[in-house]
Amino acid sequence: MEQNTFHSVTLMPDACKGCISCMKRCPTEAIRVRGGKATIISERCIDCGECIRICPSHAKRAVTDGYEQLERFRWKIALPAPSFYGQFSGIDDINYILTGLKHIGFDDVFEVSRAAEIVSLFSRKSLAMLKDTMTGPVISSACPAVVRLIKIRFPALCANVLPINEPIHIAAQLAKQEAMQKTGLKEEEIGVFFITPCPAKVTSAKYPVGSERTYIDGTLSATDTYMKMLSALKNIKEPENLMESGIVGINWANSGGEAAGLLFDNYISADGIENVIKVLEEVEDEKLNDIDFVELNACPGGCVGGVLNVANGYVARARIKTLRKYLPLTKSKPVEQEEQNAILFWENNLEYQAIYKLDDDMAVAMDKMKQIDQIKNSLPGLDCGSCGAPTCHAFAEDVVCGLANEHDCIIRLRDRMSKSAPEVIPAPFRTNEKESEKQ
């Protein structure tokens, strides 16, 4: 489904000091500072959460739906991400966590890792066939921030993305089907809630990349859920046996986990958005054509590094290693063929969105580019961000597109001032030349 306006990542203007930290960090140049506050260019935002991670004023938030949404349904199902299991200390059995979810308002649980195992199974079977249809490796579609990044920045790679729904969407569909059989309730009476580690999955839960509708009725942050669970966990004497996934599914919490589930070695996995971009550049330049599969996660360490988690991602990773120790490799039963095709595959292909294009008419675009180059050459090249754009190049683009004024450059203001009123320029901003002139 096309979506350009909804984003989980949201700015709280009252808390924002306009410090440019987020603007400098944003991997898609989606942030500008205007009037002393950060603003997000909606069509460029991929909901990666880097701005939330870096903001010293905690002025960026990932908005989720919240627990009051549970009231809308008669039967409520929690979909915990496998990374959620790494949030708790001193727990040696995932069943405690799953049982805990049933103590905080859910009637049932459906592990996302169970759906992840279905994706792993299918990927194993079909990778060779998929690879034959494309140049270069198959790229994982599990991280929605990465998929959105490819959609707006890597036109040649849209065809390489694994055309399979994210495990959360498969889990949601299966959870609803099973609950309808179990309870006899209608689909609309059953609420499926994903417990999310990150804003990107909040956005994709509402607007799936590959299909028109979502089966997820709401998202709840891992942090909120963790807080509710703490007291509930203390009251569990004997947990219910609810676990229905194994090592392959749980591993998806960590970078490299999805690829490991393919049970072959010819893959690479990269995590952290800057590393992801470097790998995608290399795939685009066909430097990695001898690789079969590329797993990419926007967050450091994979989903355990998501900004809505409580625990340090590296701690969570270690805990998950312990939790999975005595689990079977996989527990998921293969889904029926016809049913599988309906829930697994994207309905729509990934279409490139040329949001960075300067103009639909190439002659006009080239003319604009010439102006951008001209303005850029007149700028200091410090990329200081004081003008409210992340780089001098981005500023020049903004000027040409009518979104900024050429006189917004503070270094150029200094140069003008040094002629008209040199005494008001603070010492650190004076040039050496001026210093020597004064002496």
Partner 1 sequence: MSEPLRYTYPVNGDDFMSAGGVSAVVKKTLRELGFDKDIIRRTAIAMYEGEINMVIHANGGVVDVEIYPDRIEVALKDTGPGIADVELAMSDGYSTAPDNVRSLGFGAGMGLPNIKKYSDEMRIETQVGVGTTVYLTIYTKPKA
Interactions with partner 1, residue window 380-409 (CB under 8 A): 397
Q: Which of 362, 380, 407, 437 binds partner 1 (CB under 8 A)?
A: 362
With CB under 8 A as the contact rule, the residue among 264, 314, 356, 429 that binds partner 1 is 356
Q: Which of 348, 354, 377, 405 binds partner 1 (CB under 8 A)?
A: 354
Local structure of residue 307 (DSSP, 8 states): T
Retrieve residue 351's tokens. 């279409």
- C-beta of 240 vs 286, nearer to partner 1: 286
Q: Which is nearer to partner 1, 45 or 372 (CB)?
A: 372
Q: How many binding residues for partner 1 (CB under 8 A)?
A: 25
291 in contact with partner 1 (CB under 8 A): no
Residue whose CB is less far from partner 1, 41 or 410: 41
State which of residues 128, 227, 230, 366 lies at the interface with partner 1 (CB under 8 A).
366
Q: Work out whether 369 is an interface residue with partner 1 (CB under 8 A).
A: yes
Backbone angles phi, psi at 31, to 5 degrees: -120, 140
Please, what sign has the CA dihedral across residues 150, 156, 160, 164? positive
The binder of partner 1 chosen from 365, 377, 378, 437 (CB under 8 A): 365
Could you give the C-alpha distances from 79 to 8, 168, 242, 245, 248, in angstroms and in order? Answer: 18, 8, 12, 13, 17
Binding segment for partner 1 (CB under 8 A), chosen from 18-26, 151-159, 179-187, 203-211, is 151-159
Stretch that binds partner 1, among 96-104, 149-157, 250-258, 295-303 (CB under 8 A): 149-157
Of the pair 224, 282, the CB lying nearest partner 1 is at 282
Q: What angle do CA 309, 310, 316 make, to 5 degrees?
A: 80
User: Please, which residue, 212 or 373, has the CB nearer to partner 1?
Assistant: 373
CB 434 within 8 A of CB 422: yes
Q: Does 358 bind partner 1 (CB under 8 A)?
A: yes
Given CA atoms 185, 187, 190, 195 in this order, what sign does their dihedral have? positive
Does 360 bind partner 1 (CB under 8 A)? Our answer is yes
**281 is a site residue for partner 1 (CB under 8 A):** yes
Residue 360 CB contacts under 8 Å (≥ 6 apart), including other chains: none
Distance CA 258, CA 376 (A): 43
Shortest separation between residue 373's beta carbon and partner 1, angstroms: 7
* DSSP β-ladder status, 31-34 and 218-221: unpaired
Specify the pairing of strand 218-221 against strand 75-80: unpaired
Least distance from C-beta 285 to partner 1, angstroms? 5
Question: What does the alpha-carbon distance between residue 65 and residue 42 come to, in Å, rounded to a whole number?
Answer: 19
DSSP sequence for 209-254: SS-S-----EEEEHHHHHHHHHHHHHT-SS--------HHHHGGGS
Angle between helix axes 94-103 and 222-234 (nearest 10 degrees) is 90
Task: Give whichever of 28 and 223 is closer to partner 1, judged by the CB atom.
Answer: 28
Structure token digits, residue 250: 């749980």
Site residues (vs partner 1, CB under 8 A): 153, 155-156, 158, 281-282, 284-287, 352, 354, 356-360, 362-363, 365-366, 369-370, 373, 397
